[in-house]
Amino acid sequence: MKKIKIGAVGLGRLGRKHAENIAFRIPNAELTAVCSLIQEEVDDVVRSWDIPYGYTDFNQMLKNKELDAIAISSSSTEHCKQIEAALDAEFHVFSEKPLGVNLEECKIAEKAVERHPDKVFFLGFMRRYDDSYAYAKKKIEEGAIGKPILIRCYGLDPVKAVKGAIAFAEKSGGLFLDMAIHDIDLARWYLGSEAKSIYAVGGCYAYEEFKKYNDADNGAALIQFKNGAIGMFYAGRTCAHGYHIETEIVGTEGSLRIGTIPEKNLVTVFNDNGVVRECVSGFLERFEKAYLNEMQEFVNCIVENRRPDVTVYDGTNSTIIAYACKESFENNKLVTLE
């Protein structure tokens, strides 16, 4: 079996997990190179996993012609330029979300993808590859809830991860582009429509540190979609009970919910704390299988010369909406999209 040789850039909170999946869990892929600005991260992975090449300069990695593909998990502000450089260097490309942190950047990525129709471009909206979210999509398509008219989303990070979020804030694009973007992509996917008007609010209720980046620790957006459907989005970084990702889709003939109680597993603990269902602790735990599924699908698309369901345009359209949320929040005004 030919193995797709991948160079992974970004070895932080998520990038290391992608690198590990490529190295050990995807039979038709090989982790051939890694890259990070941080030398220790590179050295650690190269030594511990016996990876042939390690780089601190992304452009040097692109000169390695043994590689077939590049997996990008660098900071959000780096994605589009790295996507363009990697495609122009004739590699297949996987990129983490968001595609870009503004429309101009996304257009650069779009043009690069259009210039290289023979290359696979895969955007990491991994929730589409989560078993429960995929099942919900199937139920909606089968008509189980009639016509979807409302989507309500909670995307809440555990407060114990807030220090990392503050450190990451300068390059995250803000609460809506960093966190709500997953829900925005899901809303577009489930509703089959783009946003028309957006009003977003929020604030630094517990962590003033986000203020200097014009960011919020908690925020919400109300969106009307072009087909008339309603979107309610709540994103926050101060969730006391753990990592809470919940989605409800209401239709004309029923509704469905995904992750209403974000429980860790099927265990209930009965003790002097009461009757306790523990909460899933973070994104790596909740979406472990989805991260693996999406990377496997990226590799399979290359091997089978297929194009993934998620496109660069999904990336652009989700960024447009998330950016409009940011604009609405920052300027306290209703934003209407063409």
Choose between 225 and 291: whose C-beta lies nearer to ligand NAI: 291
Across-strand partners of 36?
none
Q: How far is the CB of 209 from ligand NAI (least distance, A)?
A: 16
Residue with Cβ nearer ligand NAI (15 or 219) = 15
For the record, the structure tokens of 250 come out as: 């209401």
Facing residues of 34 across strands? 8, 54
In whole angstroms, what is the distance from residue 101 CA to residue 172 CA?
8
- Distant-in-sequence, close-in-space partners of 248: CB < 8 Å, separation ≥ 6: 150, 151, 152, 153, 255, 256, 257, 258, 260
Structure tokens at 152: 């309500």
The residue among 174 and 251 lying less far from ligand NAI, judged by its C-beta, is 174
Least spacing, CB of residue 150 vs ligand NAI, in Å: 24
DSSP H helices in 7-130:
15-24, 39-49, 58-62, 79-88, 103-115
Spell out the residues 6+ positions from residue 332 whose beta carbon is closer than 8 angstroms to its own. 201
The minimum distance between CB 149 and ligand NAI, in angstroms, equals: 27
Which two structure tokens, joined as six digits, stand for 141?
A: 């398509």
CA–CA gap between residue 18 and residue 303 (Å, rounded): 19
| Amino acid identity, position 29 | A
Q: Which residue is nearest to ligand NAI (CB)?
A: 12
Least Å distance between CB 337 and ligand NAI? 23
* Residue that is written with structure tokens 């509703």 in the block: 191
CB nearer to ligand NAI: pick between 39 and 252:
39
| 3-class state of residue 156 by DSSP | strand
C-beta closer to ligand NAI: residue 35 or 186: 35
For residue 85 the two structure tokens come to 């450089």
Spatial distance between the Cα atoms of 184 and 232, rounded to a whole number of angstroms: 10
Handedness of CA 128, 21, 164, 315 (dihedral sign): negative
Would you tell me which residues interact with ligand NAI (CB under 6 A)?
Answer: 9-15, 35-38, 41, 58, 73-76, 78, 96-97, 124, 126, 168, 178, 283, 287
CB of 116 to ligand NAI, least distance (A): 21
Could you tell me which residues are beta bridge partners of residue 218?
203, 236
Tell the smallest beta-carbon distance from residue 9 to ligand NAI (Å): 5
Nearer to ligand NAI, 13 or 160 (CB): 13
Helix (H, G, I), strand (E, B) or coil at 254: strand
- When the beta carbons of 40 and 338 are compared against ligand NAI, the nearer one is 40
Q: Which helix (H) or strand (E) holds 211?
A: none
Provide the minimum distance between the beta carbon of 96 and ligand NAI in the complex, in angstroms, as a whole number: 4
Whose Cβ is closer to ligand NAI: residue 68's or residue 78's? 78
Nearest approach, Cβ of residue 86 and ligand NAI (Å)? 12
